[in-house]
Structure 1
Amino acid sequence: MIVAGRSGEGVRLVLEAEEAMLLSELADQVDSVLLLGSGEDPAIDRLLPNAYPDDVEAAGEFERYTRDSLVDGKRQAAQSVRDATDVSDGRDLVEIELDESQAWGWLTFLTDLRLILAERVGVTDDGGYAEDEERDDYLRAAYEWAGFVQGSMLEILDPMDA
């Protein structure tokens, strides 16, 4: 993967077909979690945390007024990644030009993806991994790779804060 700045504001991504397919598949999975999401999936708690953990009534009101729009925004971000990473035409490289707004949408998706993967692979509060032999190394690698992509994009979009 190559992540580069471009003239003006925005980001240019160059992905190998395998990387594009991976991102597309991960976007499908994020969308599925959001679509089917219930309080029983701890990943949903990471994506949509309780705004008022000490006030059940306020938490319910907040969720009632914000959840649908938050989920819709997250699903749209996943869809934009899926659309941009389509490799059905057989390309070996996928070049994606994102303006600043689109790039921030991708960053929303990458954050959501990493939150879900963090839950699945047992990332602890200190950034380490929970000791569990059953955790999937493939998901850990995807978590780390998504962090690399996210960090690279942030360095271009906001070089002072990266």
Structure 2
Amino acid sequence: MIVAGREGGADGVRIVLETEEAMLLSELADQVDSVLLLGGDDDPALDRLFPSAYRDDEAAARDFERYTRDSLVDGKRQAAQAVRDATAVRRGEGVVEIELDQAQAWGWLTFLTDLRLILAERVGATDPEEAEVADEERDDYLRAAYEWAGVVQGSMLEVLDPIGR
């Protein structure tokens, strides 16, 4: 994976992925979409994506959720779909080059944040101190996907916000 500024110095990001990486991102976008659509009220990953706005007032939290949840889910699903669209590849293509303007790149970052929150919940990395727990207690595939998504996210942020380095 290579993440760089867009050619010609334009704002945005240029991402070069191996076919397998693009397929992985597409598959992970499908999984995020499934969690958003099918996740039950008892799914702790959804609690990570949509934390209570009013932890001390259950009635206010329900009202807030009632008025905001659908649009938040729609935005997250659109971000996942944008990643899926950009990473749609046929086997054997070699590399996939993706050019994102700044708005598209921030949409990808939204997706990567959502993905990492879901994966963190699934692998039990709910706080930084727990991240050091022995690997045998975690799903290696999910853990690797979590870490790789963090690398992609960090690389994109470095390109989009070079002053923050």
**What TM-score results when the alignment is normalised by the length of structure 2?**
0.93
Which of the residues 88, 98, 103 maps onto 1:96?
Answer: 98
Per the alignment, residue 147 of structure 1 pairs with 150
Q: Deviations over 1:125-160 (max 9, x none)?
A: 225144573420111111000000000000011112
Q: Distance in 1 between matches of 2:57 and 2:43?
A: 21
2:77 to 57, 75, 78: 75
Closer/same/farther in 2, CA of residues 130 and 24 from structure 1, 3 Å limit: same
Stretches of structure 2 that go unaligned for 5 or more consecutive residues are none
Indicate whether 1:5 and 2:1 are aligned. no
Matches within 5 A, 1:114-153: 114-127=116-129, 128-131=131-134, 133-153=136-156
For these two proteins, the number of residue pairs brought into alignment is: 162
Q: Give % identity.
A: 77
Higher helix residue share:
2
CA-based RMSD:
1.4
Report how far residue 124 of structure 1 moved. 3.4
Aligned residue for 1:133, secondary structure, equals helix
AA matched with 1:36: L
What SS is found at the alignment partner of 2:162?
A: coil
Give runs of ≥4 in structure 1 deviating > 6 Å.
none
- Aligned-residue offset at 1:97: 0.2
CA distance in 2, matches of 1:3, 1:87: 18
CA contact (8 A) 2:19 2:91 kept: no
How far did 1:161 drift? 2.3
